Structure 1
């Protein structure tokens, strides 16, 4: 029963403070005076702000944003938060909406592959069974006597209700006359009905026999075959089927939720173990049914809170053991577009390392690089195409992991497009790309200084080519080039000089780490990568030593497509695949080193940038004879189109570097009395000394001219800095970027000393 004087009672009528005071006085002088609004506000998790128009008593209502007092209860969950807007719910459901058309039907190539496989499978089954028809006929003939005995015996048992005989005997043994009489009457009734039916069947069979006996011989043999077939089927042994299986069932165990949970829980991951101990039913949640996906099974899983896919990837070998499958058939990967705990576990029927991916380029008459280059296949057998136009590609791995073989695939695809100008620099000197020498505009194979210098000259030429193309594409009319990018239509107009140019640098670390040419080559490569994409200039770089010196960060940070085969650690992994790739679960360290015939994953790597999500891809295998056939076919195409040029025609290109010495030229234009000179002054004098070499530098802005000289001096180890000087025509002195003549002299001395020691050695 409510108390009207109790301020804690919600049913108490509103009373004034004076009335409450009177009641308190009546109840005792020690009673506490309170305000109703204050007490009621204390019962709500978020009290309203104080009303300035309300009564101000001894205690005011606490503000929601006011300081918290000791003993206050703060509720962080908003009331009504469990209600959701129906439109929000619908949007979230739409994100997980299953496709109407199966994924394999969306790809024409994959659909054709699956339909072809199904057709071949059932054609094999049909052919297998047809060729064994005589064997099956013999089996039925041998089993027909047993079938006849079974048929007659079954007919007799049915006619005279012999299957009920044990029950009637049991009634007699129990001395139960009532049940025995019931069973006997039931048996008599059945026999009275079944005997005429059996006689009807016998008469019918007799008539059929007479008709068949009078029929032609063909009909008689046909009837005999049918009778033997029926009797043979009836007489077959339970443990020996009549028809053999055309396809032996796979010994691969079907992937089930119990198997997946078993495999994940044995990995020894603390977060999974804790979640399983608290809530084993929902710790690991399957977001969709486990289903077949290509030649394997796919399971989409939400890992327990706090567990990432990277934790699973670190223990891939233990998962393979738990699943009782080869390591090369277990491919866990994440889907960070949803969250970091979404695991996509794909378990293949076959070991990927034992699979040979055949390239369609072997049989292709020609190829269009604007459609990408067929590169390989993912673990599910789906073909992977690498886009090449408007891209640059970086390939990295440890030695012997299939890096050069991957480069060979890209080179073959580019060679089969006669519009592509191919530049090949194989800086290992083993001749892995020699088969394409007949199609290359520029070609070198070697690890010596002249080969490195040739490759550096190529990058310098490419830098000038990018600048030329930028100016050329700027003049094209909007109807021909609306996006200011090289297209197939523009590439086919050979006179414009905007055809695709693919430059390959295998073992590029030997170039970028070179003491004399490396710094300038790195700057040129970075310039080409940044600006050449839209202009049809493509760099393909391959390295087996991905460190900061061998692969400048400006290059690795701007390459758009990366393919990383087996590497040793996290640093090399992120140098190739991008910063934080290892942390995000994209780890090329999980691949097993060594060739496939020894259980290794050579040729398999992570491909990033070519597909919406990073993928494990095995590159197609092109051996030397197959590559030679492709190169010969490409040479014939180029010869017919008239696109052979440069090295392919036996031409010796003029060296891009001037026949003069930059350091010597600087000493020639800077007098011995001039200790320090501004860069822009030096450039002006150099342009006057050799206009053909340094004239383009003068066309730049003043700051750009100074920067150009700084860049040109870097390979020699000469640094520029702020020096005091005055304009040559007179004027006020100032500090500007310049050189010190003694630094130039020291650089020449050091260089000449290295040459003499190298020659003596």
Structure 2
């Protein structure tokens, strides 16, 4: 211990008090070193090479703490050469006692001022969103009017039953009324107090209470007698002076009143016309209790030390059909940690899993959470009627409602200028969602639809049969050939459109993309084209045309939106094969229903979506049609798509067909027009293989064969690899074999083709054994 420093501190304290007593400034002597401005305490490093003893008189701050000031070298030349500090020169300090401040100045001297904070603040809405939206206001008013109309009709129909019940209860009500009146007159409510005085043998208190009771009984008896005479007089007046209907009404009112007075508490007279869902009000205690049950160490530690473990940044309020709470989680805890434990959170809140939706806020830090707790499970809550279900048309260049969020608000999509992918495990509503989007497109008479149901169950037939320009169902060879011909035609159409757009004047097409005005001009042929493919993996994994499907679809996804071509692909197996990278990486709209793993989640919603907390794996098996939607210029949102069954889809498609017929825009498959005969390229894979493998070579490596095929027909075989060739041979009953060749004195084995197998396959196909 440094006793000298301690003694000096005591002496300095005494000196300062004497100075204050004399009206002087404490420490106002030559040894006083004014402390720096109020800043956070700097980090101080010990001096391993002190040049002299510490001087506590000068090395002291105003609060009495000792400061290790930098020591000067006794060598003047060293002091002159060492004038530049280490942090100014960029190197490390030769004197480790140099004071370095790692904190910024105090908030009073740094950061935005008052005006800056106001400019950066977020203003709350003056009017709630539902009051600013005509559609939402109309929907809310309709629901309220329907609710009360139903309640009035329900009770009006049962009013005779209510009257009969009250009449039967009137005698009991009369007895109850008379008994209650007598007890009131006799001051029976004060009897327990008087009896207590008797038990205490307090004569003074008892006499006082008795005199008080006597006065009350006299007064109340007088009031009861007067009321009886007034009642009898009124009854006599009604009987003598009023018409019969008023007499009957008066008697009925008295009987009903006595019946109501005589009803039992456990036998309600009326029942609810509408059973409202019972939901506990969300309070801060409930939220903290639920968060504490998640098993997150940081939250538990904070609550264990008497803190809340969650900092509410706004009051808990009603938000649509539910409650909204928001705030900051403890340091180091992210919203993703809570989402991972959503089932535990729902248990802590004592709410069904489909009612509990924790979300991150994109513009805030990762620990800022918004918790929305609905009154009803999202998949059971009644949805508002879809505006397009009964009437209306669509302009694909404008937003159209296709579903609702947890709060029951409509979520819109603009189908133009996008390419979309839909992913989910089977039976979660993927095909219904695709059909809904195609129905929206069908309600724009200008749109040309190309629909393909590769599952082959006919789910897209309501749209395809009514309005589609091209439509196919199934995975048979004829459908695949029909589809590849259509895709090739769309690629040529894409090329034509790019030339048309490039040739248009800037005042007509200033942004080099199709607009609604350009789509109206039939002479330009720039109307919207919407392609919808369900189970698209069937196309991309086809052994013969799969690569070509992938190339064309990738081109349409990348360049199509600007030219008015929209591609919508749905698959139940979202992986690299069913959703090629070139397509999944360039999709601008994504719908992901329930999937089973992180890989599938990120294939549909984008890379790192799972890490950001956007997880379709959290959806339950009963959450059919509920999905994460990424698009329309916003971050991921949870949406329940509008449910349209097959009869409803047929009715909407029939309405769309009438609009097209009226505008003379019904073409192709729906109009009964056969597809144009597509002249297949004059090639045959087996014949081409026979052409590039001369008779002098009995066995050839596959890698050599694909090079020769690419030289023979580059427009067909360019880009083929040995695996492509092997896949293309399987449907023809052929397979590659091991072919060994000697290279550099060693035998090298690789996959290849036996020419004799080719000649046999061609002979069997053509019925001619002389193929060689």
The structural deviation recorded for 1:2 is: 4.4
The structural deviation recorded for 1:394 is: 0.9
The structural deviation recorded for 1:340 is: 1.7
**Aligned pairs for 1:499-510 within 5 A:** 499-510=527-538
Among 379, 389, 401, the alignment partner of 2:428 is 401
Alignment check: 8 A CA contact 1:546 1:576 kept = yes
- Aligned match of 1:415: 442
- Aligned match of 2:461: 434
- The 1-side partners of 2:721 and 2:79 are apart by 83
Alignment check: 8 A CA contact 1:426 1:444 kept = yes
- Aligned match of 1:727: none
- With over 3 angstroms needed to count, the CA separation of the structure-2 counterparts of 1:242 and 1:621, relative to structure 1, is closer
The structural deviation recorded for 1:407 is: 1.8
Which sections of structure 2, spanning at least 5 residues, go unmatched? 1-10, 17-24, 34-50, 692-709, 724-751, 768-772
Please say which of residues 512-521 and 461-470 is displaced more in the overlay: 512-521
- Aligned match of 1:385: 412
**Aligned pairs for 1:202-217 within 5 A:** 202-215=228-241, 216-217=243-244
Q: Does 1:530 align with 2:558?
A: yes
- With over 3 angstroms needed to count, the CA separation of the structure-2 counterparts of 1:715 and 1:544, relative to structure 1, is farther
- Aligned match of 1:589: 617
Q: Secondary structure at the match of 1:455?
A: helix
The structural deviation recorded for 1:575 is: 1.4
Among 673, 697, 708, the alignment partner of 1:650 is 673
- With over 3 angstroms needed to count, the CA separation of the structure-2 counterparts of 1:214 and 1:61, relative to structure 1, is farther
Q: Does 1:628 align with 2:650?
A: yes
Q: Secondary structure at the match of 1:202?
A: helix
- The 1-side partners of 2:305 and 2:194 are apart by 60
- The 1-side partners of 2:647 and 2:191 are apart by 81
- The 2-side partners of 1:16 and 1:542 are apart by 79
- Aligned match of 2:700: none
- With over 3 angstroms needed to count, the CA separation of the structure-2 counterparts of 1:210 and 1:303, relative to structure 1, is same
Q: Secondary structure at the match of 1:207?
A: helix
Alignment check: 8 A CA contact 1:562 1:609 kept = yes
Alignment check: 8 A CA contact 1:369 1:414 kept = yes
Q: Secondary structure at the match of 1:521?
A: helix
- Aligned match of 1:564: 592
The structural deviation recorded for 1:197 is: 4.0
The structural deviation recorded for 1:423 is: 1.6
Q: Secondary structure at the match of 2:718?
A: helix
Which sections of structure 1, spanning at least 5 residues, go unmatched? 18-29, 593-598, 669-705, 720-745
- Aligned match of 1:740: none
- With over 3 angstroms needed to count, the CA separation of the structure-2 counterparts of 1:420 and 1:39, relative to structure 1, is same
- The 2-side partners of 1:291 and 1:3 are apart by 56
- Aligned match of 1:511: 539
Alignment check: 8 A CA contact 2:319 2:407 kept = yes
- Aligned match of 2:634: 612
- Aligned match of 2:27: 11
- Aligned match of 1:225: 252
Q: Secondary structure at the match of 2:87?
A: coil
User: Per-residue displacement from partner, 1:264-320 (whole Å, max 9, x unpaired)?
Assistant: 3333333333333344x3212333344444444433343222222222333333334
Number of aligned residues = 672
Q: Secondary structure at the match of 1:369?
A: coil
- With over 3 angstroms needed to count, the CA separation of the structure-2 counterparts of 1:175 and 1:619, relative to structure 1, is closer
- The 2-side partners of 1:163 and 1:108 are apart by 58
Q: Does 1:641 align with 2:663?
A: yes
- The 2-side partners of 1:401 and 1:169 are apart by 73
- Aligned match of 2:124: 98
The structural deviation recorded for 1:524 is: 2.9
User: Per-residue displacement from partner, 1:476-497 (whole Å, max 9, x unpaired)?
Assistant: 4455444443233322221221
The structural deviation recorded for 1:331 is: 3.2
- With over 3 angstroms needed to count, the CA separation of the structure-2 counterparts of 1:45 and 1:135, relative to structure 1, is farther
- Aligned match of 2:146: 120
Please say which of residues 144-153 and 432-441 is displaced more in the overlay: 144-153
Q: Does 1:288 align with 2:293?
A: no
- With over 3 angstroms needed to count, the CA separation of the structure-2 counterparts of 1:571 and 1:183, relative to structure 1, is closer
- Aligned match of 1:471: 499
The structural deviation recorded for 1:566 is: 2.6
- The 2-side partners of 1:328 and 1:16 are apart by 69
Alignment check: 8 A CA contact 2:454 2:538 kept = yes
Please say which of residues 36-45 and 582-591 is displaced more in the overlay: 36-45
Q: Secondary structure at the match of 1:393?
A: strand
User: Per-residue displacement from partner, 1:706-749 (whole Å, max 9, x unpaired)?
Assistant: 99x97864344499xxxxxxxxxxxxxxxxxxxxxxxxxx9998
- The 1-side partners of 2:81 and 2:230 are apart by 109
RMSD value, Cα? 4.6
The structural deviation recorded for 1:352 is: 4.0
- Aligned match of 2:746: none
Alignment check: 8 A CA contact 2:574 2:604 kept = yes
Alignment check: 8 A CA contact 2:630 2:636 kept = yes
- The 1-side partners of 2:96 and 2:369 are apart by 46
**Aligned pairs for 1:23-42 within 5 A:** none
Q: Secondary structure at the match of 2:666?
A: coil
- With over 3 angstroms needed to count, the CA separation of the structure-2 counterparts of 1:271 and 1:714, relative to structure 1, is farther
Alignment check: 8 A CA contact 2:59 2:66 kept = no
- With over 3 angstroms needed to count, the CA separation of the structure-2 counterparts of 1:230 and 1:36, relative to structure 1, is same
Alignment check: 8 A CA contact 1:421 1:501 kept = yes
- Aligned match of 1:375: 402
Alignment check: 8 A CA contact 1:45 1:73 kept = no
- The 1-side partners of 2:208 and 2:758 are apart by 125
- The 1-side partners of 2:366 and 2:510 are apart by 40
- Aligned match of 1:299: 325
Using the size of structure 2 for normalisation, the TM-score is 0.74
**Aligned pairs for 1:119-158 within 5 A:** 119-158=145-184
Alignment check: 8 A CA contact 2:396 2:444 kept = yes
Q: Secondary structure at the match of 1:275?
A: helix
User: Per-residue displacement from partner, 1:573-618 (whole Å, max 9, x unpaired)?
Assistant: 21111111111111222234xxxxxx54443322111362312233
- Aligned match of 2:452: 425
- The 2-side partners of 1:502 and 1:31 are apart by 85
User: Per-residue displacement from partner, 1:179-232 (whole Å, max 9, x unpaired)?
Assistant: 455445544555565555444333322322331231232332233233334433
Using the size of structure 1 for normalisation, the TM-score is 0.75
- Aligned match of 1:677: none
